[in-house]
Amino acid sequence: MALDPNSPEVLLLSAIVFYCSGRPEESIPLFEKGFRLDPFAPGMYFAASSVAYHMIGRYDEAVEQARKAVKQDPKSQLTQIALTAACILTGRDKKARTAAAEVLKINPKFSLDQYAQTLPYKDKSQIDRIINALRKAGLK
């Protein structure tokens, strides 16, 4: 970041490092600046932002970011997973089940156990929260 503080990609990747290492509050300003500099960033960054927001309990913003993620990349398993989790956490169960169905369309062999193993969060309770939300939406 010191070499290129206005690079959207550097900001967005740094934001991901912050929230994965248990510092989601610090990731939000980086996501916001990255999206100001590149409002058409790939969907995976909006999905990551959604996770950071729900890690700090800002669930409505998590849904908003997940919707942007799906808009940018509707055929991505990751963006649909972000939308599924965000919707469950805000009580939008019907929308969550719809997004979960999209996950299974994209990847019929989707497995929560396998997905949980890919989550790099330092705080294991965050993994449990996401997996439980996805399970509640009907994923297995």
Give residue-wise pLDDT tens across range 49-78.
999 999 999 999 999 999 999 999 999 999
Q: For residue 103, what are the contacts with CB-CB under 8 A and spacing of at least 6?
A: 77, 80, 81, 84, 110, 139
Structure tokens at 70: 């799906």
Structural contact between residues 76 and 84, judged by C-beta atoms closer than 8 angstroms: no
Q: Which CATH number fits domain 8-136: 1.25.40.10, 3.50.50.60, 1.20.1260.10, 1.10.760.10?
A: 1.25.40.10
Q: What percent of the chain has a predicted confidence (pLDDT) above 90?
A: 97
Q: In angstroms, rounded to a whole number, what is the distance separating the alpha carbons of residues 92 and 22?
A: 26
Structural contact between residues 14 and 30, judged by C-beta atoms closer than 8 angstroms: yes
CA distances (Å), 29 to each of 19, 62, 99, in order?
Answer: 11, 14, 27
Q: In angstroms, rounded to a whole number, what is the distance separating the alpha carbons of residues 140 and 121?
A: 20
pLDDT of residue 90: 96
**Predicted confidence band of residue 1 (pLDDT cuts 50, 70, 90):** confident
Structure tokens at 71: 């808009």
Per-domain residue ranges for the chain?
8-136
